[in-house]
Structure formats: structure tokens, C-alpha cells
Structure 1
Amino acid sequence: MKPALLIMGPTASGKSALALALAERIGGEIVNADSMQVYADFRVLTARPSREEEAQAPHHLYGHVDAARLYSTGRWLEDALAAVADIRARGRTPILVGGTGLYFRALTQGLADIPAADEDTRAALRERVALEGAPALHAELAARDAMTAARLEPNDAPRILRALEVLETTGESISVLQANTKPALSREEWVGLALTPDREALYSAINTRFDKMLEQGALDEVRAFAARGLDPALPATKAHGAPALSAHLSGELTLVEAADIGKRDTRRYAKRQFTWIGGQMPDWPRVADHDLGSRIAAALALPQG
């Protein structure tokens, strides 16, 4: 059995193009490992593969979740393992591609079996974040679970709420529970490749891509999404660019201002992805060259079991 191929890299680094090229060469099927591309509402804004690209090779776990759902890392892991098993059963190679480091960590290092919070606890915390703001709850988390708070952004409401839910439900730190895990895939079942392109070139690509997204209808996606009136604590509401474009639609920002904020937030996210690769994937082979041919060669050179 050939190992699954895992491709991690910052946003706009060309992961999807590499995955598609490899799928065509090695008889592979592509599995999404990006926490925003799972949502149906934002094809353009999250840079999901186009319908034309999806027609070139089988794609799994893209746009299969309604934004009203709270889709967890644990649920993704279940779905991804099912997809991997199905692909392998047909004699093909799974290619998991995305930029969500936590997804890859769950796959290769494991995910703690943490019980869900009861609905009353979850509702109370959501009400608090709506009234007090995520930074206030982050400060509370820092006082009760400094280890977890240190790795979360003060505005990362979904993960702050989850950490507090776990504290309330189990009395334990979610970081401690996650440390006592076993990998979902054994080390022999996967090989990984991290894309680490030049940062300035990547930031320029992010800016250019955001402008292209606007041309392709990203604003219409945000308008339709805003009309749904969903809970602002849901993860899908944090898609890069969505809050700023929503503010533009409500008259708070010009389109230029909103686009600048969206680009800035995406660049900051890319910086965090670089940090994740450096700190969490020290043994993954890296390829800095942006040339597709060089990337294909690097991937094909990985051990194949």
C-alpha cells in the first residue's frame, strides 16, 4: 500500500495546483485539509478548486458543510479517514492538501477523545462572547489555562469557546488532553511535503488573488452569506475577507478599505502558517521553489513505502 501524500503550505502558495498535477500523474484523489474550504457558502472567497479543476481529478471534502454547522477538527478527521479508506479501496493514492495545521496534526499525531459540552454550557459561552467579546474570554482562559491561551489569538472565538467548554465539562486543559493521543495514521502510512515559498512573493500573490476574488464574485458570496443572519461565533463567519467585506456592505468601509483589510488579514494568516510549519512540522521535507515542475519532482522523490 502506497502512503498517503500530505501537502501543507501557506495560503496562496500553489498547493491546489500541485495536488492536481500529482493526482494526474500518480492516480491520486484529492482530500481537502483546509478548515474554511469545507464550507459550501464560500467557493470564491476561500479559493476552493474551480469546477473545472474538480472535473480533472476526484476531490473530496470541499464545500460539503453548511456554514450553519459547527464543523470540528474531530469531525474532519472522521471524514478524512473515511475518504482515505475509500480511495485506497479503489487502488488509488490519497492526496491530502490544505493549510490547516491542526488538521494535519490530528491526522499524524492524533486527536484527544474529548467529550462535547452540554448545550446549556455552550449557549452560555456564546452569549458571553456576543456581549463581552472574544478578547475578554481569552483573558479568562489565560487565567485558567495559560498553556492553551498562549497558542490562541485573542479574537479566535471558536477555539477560545471550545477551550472554555472543555474546562467547564472536564476540569482539564484541552492542551493536556490533546497531548495524550495516538496518531490516526501510522508513520508508515503517510509522507509529507511542506511548501515554503519566498514570503514577499507570497504576500504579493495574496494581494493579487484577493483582487481576483472580488472580480469573480466574492462580494456576492458575502452578501448572500450575511443575509442568512448566522451566529457570529460560527467558524465560517471568520473566513478571511468576510468580516471586512460584510462591513463594506453595511456602509462601514469603502470597498478599497475592506479589500485592504482582507489582504492584511490573509497575509497575517500566512505568517502564522509559516510559524506552524517551522514549529510543528520540523521533520517534513520542504520545497521553497515556486516552479511547479520542481515541486512535482520533490513530491515524487518522497519515499513510497
Structure 2
Amino acid sequence: MAPNSALNAVANYIMTKVLLSVVGPTAIGKTALSIQLAQHFKTEIISADSRQFYKELQIGTAAPTPIELSSAPHHFIKHISVETHYNVGAFENDAINVLTELFKTNNVVVMVGGSGLYVKVVTHGLDQFPEVDPSIREALNERFQVKGLQRLQEQLKELDPLSYQTIAIDNPHRVIRALEICIASGHPYSSFLDNNIATRDFKTLTIGLTAERSIIYDRINRRVDQMMTEGLLNEVKSLKSKQHLNALNTVGYKELFNYLDGEWDLEFAVSEIKKNTRRFAKRQLTWFKKNDSTLWFNWDTKISDIIARIERDIKTS
């Protein structure tokens, strides 16, 4: 390479603003990888895990520990209360503002999280959906109250199989939102996704961690057992008076609320946490596998190999 060409390549490398987005199923090791990347690139981390936002949720969300938080600067970890109304649109605005500031002094920033929609709004922006007659939502909410969530899930599976496989199917708000779009438009909710890609002032390089399903499931089961040992039940007890809040309609919390309400015994509640977490991990992988440009690594890949690949991709972008 000629001297000037080499200098230009270095200049382009230095000037490129890169968001390293670390994704993958729960319990795969995303937090540890994000910290190692932040330390290597001497940068900061923004979280795109929608349940780690909440101050009151520590054990059940596997939020970074104080030691992990001290290992690299973090943003959007336990910054709001479960009583705060906070949605994906607000997060997009907040995250882009933080990134704008961070990129003034950093060429690389790390984003980590398993909440696919929250990752997507940072990298691509919010999708545009048709307006919905309020009566449709009212009717769906009434049906939910009378006939339960399963009936709505079955209807969504019929109208939009792809959304059934990828959204948080155990979350009534998400199911009703997808259904109201299907009914109002006559088209699948999933057909409106990725129709409004926003312009960003940075390049996104997505790093995915994965493993064989048996390994993922074993890691999940062991993590749940660890959470129980660390005091998850006491954490849930402290939130009993707030269990009606949407933020607490979350795997690990809703099952233990059923135990505290006398509906299940503790052993069954824990088994349901494991089962529902495994289902969530499957949906996460389905969602993240849609991105063909993701660089996938096995969960136990050496950090040096991952960094070498990232630096090679940045330099050739």
C-alpha cells in the first residue's frame, strides 16, 4: 500500500464512529463480553435491556453487579423506577442523545442487551404503523379480561405466525398491540417492521453470542437456581404491592407472584421460571438471527479472537 493510502486508511479508521452491539440469548455471557470490549476500546457501555432499566429489579434481571459496573462506565442501568412510564420511543430518544455525547470523545461505543426491539430502535429507528381505531384495542382488552391471554395468542398465531414466534408472547400488551395492527390494517404486524430505517451518524457492528441449545438451556437453568440462592424470592416479596405494574410482568417475577398468591407451590414456580426463560431465549435467537450481517461467535470464543475480527471489520468498513 502506498504511504498516502496507508495514512488515509488510518485516518478513516480513526474517524469512523462505531457502535458495537452485543446481542444473543439470555445467560449467554453478553455482560462479560461487553465489559471486555469496553475495556479494550477504552469506552463506555449503554444497556438495551428493557428490564435492567429499573432500580428495583436487580437479581431477577441479572443486572450488572457493582463490581461489573465499576469495570466500565454504564448507561441505562437502574436509572428509573418500575412506577415510571417508559417506552421504547423514550429510550430511542435518550439513547441517541447519550450516544451523540459519547461519540464526541470516543470512536467506539458498546451497546449490550437482549431486548430486540430496544436494540433495533437505536440502530434503525422506530417502525411506522397505521392508526388504530380505539374500539379495536378496547375489544381486545375486554376479550383478554374475559377469555384470557391464550385466546389472543392463538389469534395472533393465525394472523401473524412470524410475530407469534418473535414477540414477547407472554406479555399481554405486546400481543394486543400486534393484534390491533393486524386487525386494523388487514396485514400482519410483522409486515410493518423495518419499513422506516433511520439515518444514524455511526456504523453499527453487531456481535452475536450463541451456543448449542442444550448449553443455552443448561446455563439458563443454573442461572435461575443461582438467582434463587441470591434472594430472588425476597426481592419479589418486596415488590408484591406493585405486581400490577407492567414492568413486573416479567419472567422471574410473575411466576413468584403466583407462588405468593397461593396459586403455585415454590418448586413449580421455579420450574416455570426456567421454562419461560428458555422460551424467551428461543424468541431472542429467532429475532436476532434475522440480521444477516451479525458476526456470530460461540459463547466460549476467546476474547482476543473476537477483538481481532472486530478490528479487522472496522478497518475495512
In the superposition, the TM-score normalised over structure 1's length comes to: 0.84
Counterpart residue number, 1:285: 295
1:15 aligns with: 30
Which residue of 2 is the match for residue 96 of structure 1? 111
| Deviation (angstroms), 1:247 | 1.8
Take 1:260 and 1:138, find their aligned partners in 2: how far apart are those partners?
Answer: 22
232, 242, 253: which is aligned to 2:264?
253
Contact 1:39–1:62 (8 Å) recurs in 2: yes
Distance 2:50 2:29 in 1: 17
Q: 1:60 to 1:118 in 2, by over 3 A?
A: farther
Find the aligned partners of 2:276 and 2:163 in 1 and give their Cα distance. 22
Q: Do structure 1's residue 135 and structure 2's residue 150 form an aligned pair?
A: yes
Could you list the runs of 5+ residues in structure 2 that have no partner in the other structure? 1-15
Residue correspondence of structure 1 range 69-84 to structure 2 within 5 A: 69-84=84-99
Match of 1:27 among 42, 54, 67: 42
Name the CA distance, whole Å, in 2 between partners of 1:127 and 1:66: 28
Cα gap change, 1:164/1:141 in structure 2, threshold over 3 Å: closer, same or farther? same
From 223, 230, 238, give the equivalent of 1:224: 238
How many residues align? The count is 300
Q: Deviations over 1:3-53 (max 9, x none)?
A: 111111111111100111111111111111122222222111010101221
Q: CA separation in 2, counterparts of 1:68 and 1:192?
A: 32
> What is the DSSP-based 3-state SS (H/G/I as helix, E as strand, rest coil) of the residue aligned with 1:205?
helix
Letter in 2 for 1:158: H
Cα 1:21–1:86, aligned 2, differ >3 Å: closer, same or farther? same
TM-score, scaled relative to structure 2:
0.81
Aligned residue for 2:22, secondary structure, equals strand
The higher radius of gyration belongs to 2
Give, in whole Å, the separation in 2 of the partners of 1:154 and 1:223. Answer: 25
The AA in structure 1 aligned to 2:210 is T
Aligned residue in 2 for 1:162: 177
Equivalent residue number for residue 208 of structure 1: 222
- Do the aligned partners of residues 175 and 74 (structure 1) sit closer, same or farther apart at CA in structure 2, a change above 3 Å counting? farther
SS of 1:190's partner is strand
Partner AA of 2:281 in structure 1: A
Contact 2:24 2:284 in 1 (8 A): yes
Change (3 A) 1:92 1:50: farther
CA distance in 2, matches of 1:269, 1:195: 15
Structure 2 CA distance for partners of 1:209 and 1:299, relative to 1, 3 Å: farther
RMSD (Å) for aligned C-alpha atoms: 3.0
Deviation sequence 1:201-238 (CA, Å, 0-9, x none): 2221111111111122211221122222424xx2x233
Deviation sequence 1:181-203 (CA, Å, 0-9, x none): 123536x6111111112322222
Question: Partners of 1:273 and 1:8 in 2: how far apart?
Answer: 9
Report the CA distance shift for 1:127/1:43 in structure 2 as closer, same or farther (over 3 A).
Answer: farther
User: SS at 2:103's partner residue?
Assistant: helix
Percentage identity across aligned positions?
31
Tell me by how many angstroms 1:250 deviates. 2.4
Q: Give the equivalent residue in structure 1 for 2:64.
A: 49
Q: Secondary structure of the equivalent of 1:28?
A: coil
Uncovered stretches (5+) of structure 1, i.e. residues with no partner: none
Q: 1:18 to 1:296 in 2, by over 3 A?
A: farther
Q: Contact conserved, 1:29 with 1:92, CA < 8 A, in 2?
A: no
Instruction: Tell me: CA distance 1:149–1:268, structure 2 relative to 1, closer, same or farther (3 Å).
Output: closer
Assess if the C-alpha contact under 8 Å between 2:24 and 2:210 holds in 1: yes
* Equivalent-residue separation in structure 2 for 1:272 and 1:55 (angstroms): 31
| 1:240 to 2:255 alignment | no
